[in-house]
Amino acid sequence: MRTHDRLIDLRPGWRAAAMGAALVGAFVAPAWALAGPYHDGPDKMVQMVAAATGSPANSLVEIAKHKFSLPTVTVPVGGTVTWRNHDEDVHTVVSTTQVFRSPGLDTDEAYSYTFTKPGVYQYFCTLHPLMTGTVIVK
Amino acid sequence: MRDDLNHSHDMDRQEGHRGDGVDRRGFLECMAWAGTGLVWVAAGGILSSRALGQAAAADAAPATSFSFVQISDTHIGFKGEANKDALGTFEQALARIKALEPAPAFIIHTGDLTHAQKAGAFDTVTEALKGTRAERVFYVPGENDVFADGGKEYLGRFGGPAGTGWQSFDYKGVHFIGLVNVLNFKAGGLGSLGPAQLDWLKKDVAGLSSSTPIVVFAHVPLWAVYPKWGWVTDDGEQALSSLKRFGSVTVLNGHIHQILQKVEGNIRFHTALSTAFPQPAPGVGEGPGPLKVPAEELRKVLGLREVTYVPGKGSLAVVDSTLA
């Protein structure tokens, strides 16, 4: 009886473990497919999570013609957003809650910020405040 | 008296309230003598003759004519394609100022002295302007002068005793007001003056007679030139309402790097050329910013302005000139 019970008990667990392995496989496989050099450390985890959630770990926002190319970007916790200025005018990227603040960006200069906490971050250009954007971190 | 009335007349509404004692009838009487080319004037009990033009100026006491220069958007530190030599074109404008006869009484800079607060740029501007013969230079900031540090560097140099950057002064009967509309930008917002400054403005003009000529200078246009591009002051209307009772108000702005003018009652608005680079006309193209023009055209779209006050004339004479 006990033996049988143990076998029965094992099976659901075994199923869960099998499903878990399959899920991890589903996570890992795309990461292997998308990622470049596969190395250990937090980057690996970020890339795996990114693949699962569907958003890239890093985002690039172009600044041109007094606009941010992507009004909203979404990155995972630990992800980095890079802004690059293509205008002759100087622009800045400043969060409305003082979480991040770029220096004045000349033509072809860039600024990156790595987001360590989830949330919704509004930002704007302090020279041209009609230029606004949002970063969603989750 | 007519001073207190708030009509929206056309230009020549100064007939009733000038200090020189010449009203329309008097002027017509003068004109009757025009054939002789002389006017006989009694002053201090002594008869003397003067040519017509001189008579008007001589009777206008105690105020006298003077001129000043408006220079704007020098953007020292700019190195973009629109002008690789913003310092050189600035120096050409200074040469024009030095050549003015008579020399201007003072210079008003309507902001964006520097391009993005580039290191050393404030010093370059102030030192260069000292080389002109003007007695003084008055400044108001542009967004380029204050964006990086909330105005700390600019206000430290030019903020005045109160450290606010806004200011007023009188010169030979004309009241000058410098306003700051580039601080405290909010995301998605526009240039604004703010309640403290509006309150100060109201008090500043409260004691003036409505016949006092007023000159207001500020970086961002005080009227809605093109809000979509940020070419407007959010609470500009409130400032203008404090000034509507005056017989002559001249508003001098910068920011848009081109000359646009508007008349609203007794208020005349003039935006100014930059000495660094032009910008597109409102709504032409995707947005504001440095506009590249063919090299041979550049100096034709850069320039400065001379403003002359002649007592007895309602509005100040505004003369723009380009570098080429």
Q: Tell me the shortest Cα–Cα distance from A62 to chain B, in angstroms.
A: 16
User: Which of the four pLDDT bands, split at 50, 70 and 90, describes residue B62?
Assistant: very low
Q: Tell me the shortest Cα–Cα distance from A129 to chain B, in angstroms.
A: 5
d(CA B191, CA A113): 27
d(CA B221, CA B232): 5
Q: What's the CATH number of domain B66-322, 3.30.365.10, 3.60.21.10, 2.40.110.10, 3.40.50.300?
A: 3.60.21.10
Nearest CA in chain A to B83: A88
Specify the amino acid at residue B91.
E
According to the model, what pLDDT value does residue A23 have?
A: 54
Please, what is the angle between helix B121-130 and helix B86-99, to 10°? 20
Nearest CA in chain A to B186: A129
Cα–Cα distances in angstroms (integers) from residue B83 to residues B26, B128, B230, in the given order: 54, 19, 23
Instruction: Give the tokens for residue B7.
Output: 């009509």
Q: Where are the domains of chain B?
A: 2-59, 66-322
- Beta strands at B261-264 and B249-253: parallel, antiparallel or unpaired: unpaired
- Test mutation, B146, B147, B257, B284, chain A, max A CBs within 10 A: B147
According to the model, what pLDDT value does residue B31 have?
A: 57
d(CA B289, CA B245): 36
Q: Is B144 on the interface with A (CB under 8 A)?
A: yes
- Beta strands at A119-124 and B261-264: parallel, antiparallel or unpaired: unpaired
Cα–Cα distances in angstroms (integers) from residue B140 to residues B117, B218, B229, in the given order: 14, 6, 21
According to the model, what pLDDT value does residue A57 have?
A: 87
pLDDT in tens, A69-93: 999 999 999 999 999 999 999 999 9
Of B81, B117, B187, the CB nearest to A96: B187
Q: Cα torsion at B243, B246, B248, B254 (round to 10°)?
A: -10
- Of B275, B116, B121, B258, residue with least CA distance to A107: B116
Instruction: Give the tokens for residue B188.
Output: 């998605």
**B216: Cα separation from own chain's centroid:** 6
| Total residues belonging to chain B | 324
Task: Work out the number of other CB atoms within 10 angstroms of the CB of residue A119.
Answer: 12
Specify the amino acid at residue B188.
G
Considering only CB atoms, which chain B residues are within 8 Å of A92? Answer: 147-148
Chain A, residues 27-86, CB within 8 A of chain B, namely 65-67
d(CA B293, CA B43): 57
Q: Cα B252–B150–B228 angle (5° rounding)?
A: 55
- Tell me the mean pLDDT in the region B250-270: 97
According to the model, what pLDDT value does residue B23 have?
A: 63
- Kindly report the pTM of this predicted structure: 0.77
- Tell me the mean pLDDT in the region B106-118: 97
Q: Is A120 on the interface with B (CB under 8 A)?
A: no
Full set of structural domains in chain A with CATH: 2-53 (no CATH), 58-137 (2.60.40.420)
